[in-house]
A and B are shown apart, each in its own frame.
Chain A
Amino acid sequence: MGIETQKQQSSVAEAVEQLVAVNPYNPDILPDLENYVNEQVSSQTYSLDANLCLLRLYQFEPERLSTQIVARILVKALMAMPAPDFSLCLFLIPERVQMEEQFKTLIVLSHYLETARFRQFWDEAAKSRHIVEAVPGFEHAIQAYALHVLSLSYQKVPRSVLAEAINIEGLSLDKFLEHQATNSGWILEKGQGRGQLIFLPQNEFNHPELKKSTADSIPLDHITRIFPILS
Chain B
Amino acid sequence: MYFNSSNVVLHGVVNMQLPNQWLWDMVDEFVYQFQSFCQYRAKMKSKTEQEIALLKQFDQAWNVYGVLNYLQALVEKSMIIQILEQEKEGLEQFTATDGYDYNGGSNVLKVLGYFSMVGLLRVHCLLGDYHTGLKCLLPIDITQQGVFTSVIGSHITTIYHYGFANLMMRRYVEAIREFNKILLYIYKTKQYHQKSPQYEQILKKNEQMYALLAICLSLCPQVKLVDEAVNSQLREKYGEKMLRMQRYDDEAFALYDELFSYACPKFITPSAPSYEEPLVNYNQDAYRLQLKLFLYEVKQQQLLSGVRTFLKVYSTMSLGKLATYMEVDELTLRTILMTYKHKTHSVDSDGKIISNADFDFYIDDDMIHVVESKPAKQYGDYFLRQIVKLEGVMNDMDRIKLD
Other-chain residue from B130, B339, B353 in contact with A114 (beta carbon distance below 8 A): B339
Q: For chain B residues 335-352, which have a beta carbon within 8 Å of chain A?
A: 335-339, 341-343, 345-347, 351
The size class of the interface chain A forms with chain B is: 35 or more
Other-chain residue from B131, B336, B355 in contact with A52 (beta carbon distance below 8 A): B131
The minimal Cβ–Cβ distance linking A114 to chain B, given in whole angstroms, is 5
Tell me, in angstroms, the Cα distance from A118 to B339 when the chains sit together: 11
* B293 within 8 A of partner (CB): yes
Contact B339 A52, beta carbon cutoff 8 Å: no
Other-chain residue from A82, A115, A117 in contact with B347 (beta carbon distance below 8 A): A82
Tell me, in angstroms, the Cα distance from A114 to B303 when the chains sit together: 13
* B3 within 8 A of partner (CB): no
Contact B288 A52, beta carbon cutoff 8 Å: no
Tell me, in angstroms, the Cα distance from A7 to B157 when the chains sit together: 45
Tell me, in angstroms, the Cα distance from A82 to B341 when the chains sit together: 11
The minimal Cβ–Cβ distance linking A229 to chain B, given in whole angstroms, is 5
Q: For chain B residues 118-152, which have a beta carbon within 8 Å of chain A?
A: 127-132, 135
Which label, helix, strand, loop or mixed, suits the secondary structure of the A interface? helix
Contact A225 B345, beta carbon cutoff 8 Å: no
The minimal Cβ–Cβ distance linking A26 to chain B, given in whole angstroms, is 7
Given A82-B345, A117-B335, A150-B338, verify A215-B376 contact (CB < 8 Å).
Answer: yes
* A223 within 8 A of partner (CB): yes
Across the A-B interface, how many residue pairs have beta carbons closer than 8 Å? 153
* B201 within 8 A of partner (CB): no
* B65 within 8 A of partner (CB): yes
Contact B347 A84, beta carbon cutoff 8 Å: yes
Interface locus among B204-212, B230-238, B384-392: B384-392
8 of the cross-chain contacts (CB-CB < 8 Å) are A49-B132, A60-B64, A114-B342, A149-B342, A153-B341, A155-B363, A205-B353, A224-B89
Given A52-B132, A59-B271, A225-B388, verify A207-B381 contact (CB < 8 Å).
Answer: no
Residues on A with C-beta less than 8 A from B128 are 91-92
Given A48-B131, A152-B342, A226-B388, verify A205-B362 contact (CB < 8 Å).
Answer: yes
* B26 within 8 A of partner (CB): no
* B323 within 8 A of partner (CB): no
In the complex, the 5 A-B pairs of residues with the closest C-beta atoms, listed nearest first: A228-B90, A116-B338, A218-B380, A91-B128, A25-B68
Q: In chain B, what residue has the closest Cβ to A115? A: B339
